[in-house]
Amino acid sequence: MNQPTQPSPERYRKALAERSSYVENVLIHLLVGALAGELWKRDPSTPLNIFNSEVDDSGFDLVLACRQKLRYLQIKQVHQKGLASKFSIRQDFSLMAGSCVVVIVHTEDSLSIDHFLFYGGTVDEPMPPIDGNKPSIVPGRRDADGKRKVREHYRDLKRTQFKKMTSPAELLDALFD
C-alpha cells in the first residue's frame, strides 16, 4: 500500500487559517489531556475538574479546578513558525482572580504541542495589569476615514511579556502552585 504524500507547508498554513476554531478545539483537548496526565502522575487521586465556557463574552475559554483552586484560562494558539507578536486580551477578564492566558505553540503538520506561553499571576490573584498596553485593533475593519477601529476594552500583550513553559508539568505548577 502506498503512503500518501505529505501536504505542503502552504496547505497546512491555509488549513490553519480556515479551520482555526477546529484547531483551537483540538489543542484545548490536548492541553487538558496533558495537564490531567501530569496531575495523574503526581497523584492519581487528585481530580482536575474541567468546565468549558459556552459563550465567549467574559474573555475565558476554560475553567480548571484543582484542590479547591480555580483558574480561568483564555486560550490562544500559534504554530511554531507563526509570527504573532501580540495577543488581544479583554480588560475585564484580566481583573478576575485566577485569570491567565495560555498560548499553545504547536506544530503545523501534526498539531502536536511544542510548548506553552503563560501570562498570569498566582491562582488567587488577577493577572498582572494590562491597562498600560496598547488598545487592540479590530482585524480588517476601518472607519469611514479609513482608520483602523479600536477594539473597545481589549489590550494587546506582546509575546515577550509571556513566560515560556516547556512542559505540562511547568504549566501545571504555574496554574495551581
The pLDDT tens digits of the residues spanning 87-145 come to: 999 999 999 999 999 999 999 999 999 999 999 999 999 999 999 999 999 877 777 88
pTM: 0.90
Q: How far apart are CA 132 and CA 69, in angstroms?
A: 28
Contact 59, 102 (CB under 8 A): no
Predicted local distance difference test score (pLDDT) of residue 1: 57
Predicted local distance difference test score (pLDDT) of residue 22: 93
Predicted local distance difference test score (pLDDT) of residue 162: 98
Contact 156, 131 (CB under 8 A): no
Between CA 140 and CA 90, with CA 138 as vertex, the angle to 5 degrees is 150
- Interval 14-25 mean pLDDT: 89
Q: Closest by alpha carbon to 106, among 80, 74, 75, 85?
A: 80
Helices (H), 7-163: 9-18, 20-42, 91-94
Q: Closest by alpha carbon to 71, among 86, 82, 87, 60?
A: 60
